[in-house]
């Protein structure tokens, strides 16, 4: 009802339009500054901010992320791996593929077994080594039983890029090709299945992994104009954001989007679109048309990119919208509204 006090809902955390509106209203309007040394400010709502150092000494990229997930340990990963990979990947999405340092801030519920936290910390150590991203400082808080669900982790990351060498998510131009680095929907569909207690046969598991090395290989091979990791809100949200921020339209061929058989089948049963759910180890890149083949080849030659594919291109029509060729007809690919829930009735 209109006279009720507005409250935060789970939909505000689902990673699409409602969340952006909330951030703009609550944070951007208050924290925005006109610092001329900031190449990518808060208002860009990119994966991180970029700040020029004096004397042409490169630019600092800063990003931060908090992680909550149910269950804490899932097929293919856990909250610790998610926390390190998520921040490493946000740095990589800005072009900072060699992270300088990460922080680790834990908020733990009273009564949580030490063993549980230890397993998570060990996973963070392994993932930070894998990504070459040292964890150098942190913080720990304990809250009362029931005041938080077991464990939340915040990680902040710092990296360096050459001045002007960062990659925004707003950089698409008409003609740019879109590359997806592997199968989409693995993390989201796998977690939803596990949460709902569906035991699908096959190898459904999260794709959570640091992708900075893969991104470095892609950046070495050609001109990357825009980049996003399709986490909450999935590929559909990332593509819509890239179209809207870049001032272009996107034409995507659904048949070329890599989706594993297990994810496609489970998605059908659950009534969930794999394109609408989170990925934690995939990237969508805009690539200058002339470099697209070389970048695709470099990605495919990387162990994490064997399933990569060119899925479409940016056009100057229908600005801000994503057109999906389903193989039958065309429709708009829209951002999912709110949390994706399995079909019940």
Residue 48 token pair = 């991180």
Which residues have C-beta within 8 Å of that of residue 50, sequence separation ≥ 6? Answer: 38, 39, 40, 59, 60, 61, 94, 161, 166
In whole angstroms, what is the distance from residue 245 CA to residue 240 CA? 8
Shortest distance in whole angstroms from residue 302 CB to another protein: 18
Query: Is 234 among the residues that bind another protein (CB under 8 A)?
Result: no
In whole angstroms, what is the distance from residue 330 CA to residue 255 CA? 12
Q: State which of residues 31, 37, 56, 331 lies at the interface with another protein (CB under 8 A).
A: 331
Residues 237-256 that bind another protein (CB under 8 A): 254-256
Q: State which of residues 50, 124, 211, 259 lies at the interface with another protein (CB under 8 A).
A: 259
Q: State which of residues 24, 109, 293, 325 lies at the interface with another protein (CB under 8 A).
A: 325
Total residues contacting another protein by CB under 8 A comes to 42
Nearer to another protein, 24 or 254 (CB): 254
272 bridge partner residues: none
* Phi-psi region at 175: left, alpha or beta (left = phi > 0; alpha = psi -120 to 50): left
| CA separation, residue 31 to residues 8, 25, 35, 42, 181 (Å) | 20, 11, 11, 8, 34
Stretch 271-290: interaction string toward another protein, x if CB under 8 A:
x--xx---------------
Shortest distance in whole angstroms from residue 257 CB to another protein: 5
Q: State which of residues 141, 262, 278, 283 lies at the interface with another protein (CB under 8 A).
A: 262
Q: State which of residues 9, 29, 137, 301 lies at the interface with another protein (CB under 8 A).
A: 9
Contact in structure between 75 and 129 (CB atoms under 8 Å): no
Contact in structure between 185 and 263 (CB atoms under 8 Å): yes
Query: Is 109 among the residues that bind another protein (CB under 8 A)?
Result: no
Nearer to another protein, 129 or 337 (CB): 337
Core vs surface per residue 152-161: b (16+ CB within 10 A) or e? bbbbbbbbbb
Taken in order 335, 287, 95, 299, the sign of the CA dihedral is positive
Q: Would you give the DSSP letter of residue 175?
A: T
Query: Is 198 among the residues that bind another protein (CB under 8 A)?
Result: no
Nearer to another protein, 161 or 236 (CB): 236
H or E stretch covering 322: strand 322-325
Stretch 10-49: interaction string toward another protein, x if CB under 8 A:
-x------x-------------------------------
Stretch 298-317: interaction string toward another protein, x if CB under 8 A:
---------x-x--------
Shortest distance in whole angstroms from residue 299 CB to another protein: 16
Q: Where along the sequence are the contacts to another protein (CB under 8 A)? A: 1, 9, 11, 18, 183, 202, 254-262, 264-265, 271, 274-275, 307, 309, 318, 323-334, 336-338, 341, 343-345
């Amino acid at each position: 009802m209109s006279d009720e006090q507005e409250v935060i809902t789970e939909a505000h955390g689902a990673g699409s339009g409602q969340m952006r509106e909330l951030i703009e209203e609550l944070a951007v309007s208050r924290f925005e500054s006109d610092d001329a040394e900031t190449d990518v400010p808060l208002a860009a709502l990119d994966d991180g901010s970029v700040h020029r150092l004096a004397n042409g000494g490169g630019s600092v990229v800063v990003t931060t992320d908090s992680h909550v997930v149910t269950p804490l340990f899932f097929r293919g990963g856990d909250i610790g791996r998610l926390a390190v990979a998520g921040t490493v990947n946000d740095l990589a999405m800005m072009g900072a593929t060699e992270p300088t340092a990460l922080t680790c801030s834990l908020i733990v519920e009273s009564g949580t077994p030490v063993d549980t936290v230890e397993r998570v910390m060990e996973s963070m150590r392994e993932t930070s080594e894998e990504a070459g991203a040292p964890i150098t400082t942190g913080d720990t808080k304990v809250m009362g039983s029931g005041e938080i669900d077991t464990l939340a982790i915040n990680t902040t990351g710092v990296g360096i890029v050459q001045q002007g060498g960062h990659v925004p998510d707003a950089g698409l131009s008409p003609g740019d090709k879109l590359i997806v680095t592997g199968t989409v929907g693995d993390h989201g569909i796998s977690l939803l299945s596990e949460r709902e207690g569906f035991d699908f046969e096959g190898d459904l598991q999260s794709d959570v992994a640091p992708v900075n090395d893969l991104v470095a290989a892609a950046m070495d091979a050609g001109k990357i104009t825009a980049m996003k990791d399709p986490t909450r809100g999935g590929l559909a949200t990332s593509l819509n954001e890239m179209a809207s921020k870049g001032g272009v339209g996107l034409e995507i061929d659904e048949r070329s989007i890599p989706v594993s058989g297990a994810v496609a089948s489970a998605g059908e049963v659950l009534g969930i679109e794999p394109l609408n759910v989170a990925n934690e180890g995939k990237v969508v890149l805009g690539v200058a048309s002339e470099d697209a083949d070389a970048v695709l080849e470099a990605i495919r030659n990387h162990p994490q990119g064997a399933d990569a594919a060119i899925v479409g291109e940016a056009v100057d029509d229908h600005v801000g919208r994503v057109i999906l060729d389903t193989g039958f007809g065309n429709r708009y690919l829209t951002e999912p509204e709110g949390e994706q829930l399995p079909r019940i009735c």
